[in-house]
Amino acid sequence: MAKPLDHLLDIASLDDDQIHSLLRMARQIKSEPGRFRNLCSGRLMINLFYESSTRTRFSFEIAAKRLGMDVVNFTAAGSSVSKGETLLDSFRTLAAMAPDIIVVRHPDDGAAAGLAAVAHSGLRVVNAGDGCHAHPSQAVLDALTLSEHFEDFSQLRILIAGDLHHSRVTRSDVEMLRRLGAGEIRLAAPEPLRPGPETARGTIQFDDLDRAIEGVDVVMMLRIQHERQSGLDLPSAEDYHRAWGLNAERLSRAAPGCRVMHPGPMNRGVEISSEVADGPQSLILEQVANGVFARMSILLSLLGGEMPARSGTQA
Ligand code: CP
């Protein structure tokens, strides 16, 4: 049995058993959702979001509610942040109201880890995205989605392309793919958006999307994170799309039936065309749907939950 999770801060902090256990439980929840309904009734989760979010915030909320938890949402706008309250004071204030889990999204790298370090025993912290650093629940849902389409990761050739430098999804997904033994991880980005050495470790790097995509089984596109950069010399949206956008013609260079992923939000006509995003090879909405199961698994693991016994079977 995997060691219980204290917090979920990044993929690197998980051991292999914990990763496999999270994925196994997510699959189980997806196949038999009724067995997991209300398992965590009476527990409280607070979403503490200092950045915008649609997928992550709502799917954590839906996941918690499916498990029977109470949920409270904090957004910086409309809170005492506007009166000068610090992240730490806001966290301590909310922690004093006795939640079991606080899910944090913040623009600073390491914000969630800093809060986990001061959390009282019994309070679990989940990193829902910290700056350019990590987005571990995205990596769990992406691995879950990939595992439904590819049984043997050692044969998988996957390309991640776009703004790799500012992307916390890239860092967490690359770590997850390495840990799951992906056969080939390719990274492709224009010069100012290339990843740092730690992210690039063990990957094959390209500076040209047409070459990078040749023969891959999966391509994951990432948007340009304009909110995390200033002063970079980037082409116009049209020029970027011409050089770095995924369209049907480019996708035809990949392996037949190549799957397309994107963590969202998408900028249509920039890093991806609508015909590809909405086309038959796209897994983008499957990723969104799997986000709920992945996050139910994460919450249950943080609360020390195990798979419930089937009714009629002995414990
Ligand atoms: N993938 C992701 O983190 O999306 P949101 O910003 O909408 O949560």
| Cβ neighbours of residue 229 closer than 8 Å, sequence gap 6 or more | 165, 166
Q: Is the CB of 138 under 6 A from ligand 1?
A: yes
In a domain, 97, yes or no: yes
CB 296 within 8 A of CB 26: yes
47 and 113, same domain (yes or no): yes
182 and 91, same domain (yes or no): no
276 and 231, same domain (yes or no): yes
In a domain, 5, yes or no: no
160 and 120, same domain (yes or no): no
In a domain, 142, yes or no: no
243 and 293, same domain (yes or no): no
Residue 268 is part of a domain; what is its CATH number?
Answer: 3.40.50.1370
> DSSP labels for 204-260?
EEES-HHHHTTT-SEEEE----GGG--S-----HHHHHHHH-B-HHHHTTSSTT-EE
pLDDT tens string 181-210: 999 999 999 998 999 999 999 999 999 999
46 and 109, same domain (yes or no): yes
163 and 123, same domain (yes or no): no
Mutate to test the pocket of ligand 1, among 48, 54, 286 (most ligand atoms within 8 A of CB): 54
In a domain, 20, yes or no: yes
Question: At how many degrees (to 10) do helices 284-302 and 55-66 cross?
Answer: 50
Mean pLDDT of 152-174: 97
Q: 71 lies in which domain range?
A: 16-135+289-302
99 and 64, same domain (yes or no): yes
Q: Is the CB of 162 under 6 A from ligand 1?
A: no
Q: Is the CB of 265 under 6 A from ligand 1?
A: yes
Q: State the total domains in the chain.
A: 2
Give pLDDT, residue 315. 34
In a domain, 241, yes or no: yes
Distance (angstroms) between ligand 1 centre and the Cα of 170 equals 13
Q: Is the CB of 56 under 6 A from ligand 1?
A: yes
pLDDT tens string 280-315: 999 999 999 999 999 999 999 999 976 666 654 433
In a domain, 63, yes or no: yes
Give pLDDT, residue 104. 98
Give pLDDT, residue 314. 39
CB 46 within 8 A of CB 74: yes
96 and 202, same domain (yes or no): no
178 and 208, same domain (yes or no): yes
What share of the chain in percent tops pLDDT 90?
Answer: 89
- Pairing assessment for the beta strands 44-49 and 101-106 based on DSSP bridges: parallel
Mutate to test the pocket of ligand 1, among 51, 53, 137, 220 (most ligand atoms within 8 A of CB): 53
Q: How far apart are CA 312 and CA 185, in angstroms?
A: 45
252 and 175, same domain (yes or no): yes
Ligand 1 atom showing the smallest separation from residue 263 Cα = 1
199 and 162, same domain (yes or no): yes
Peptide bond into 265 cis (omega under 30): yes
In a domain, 204, yes or no: yes
For tokens 């995997």, name the residue. 2
User: What are the residue ranges of helices labelled H in 128-228?
Assistant: 136-149, 168-179, 197-200, 209-212
In a domain, 144, yes or no: no
Distance (angstroms) between ligand 1 centre and the Cα of 275 equals 22
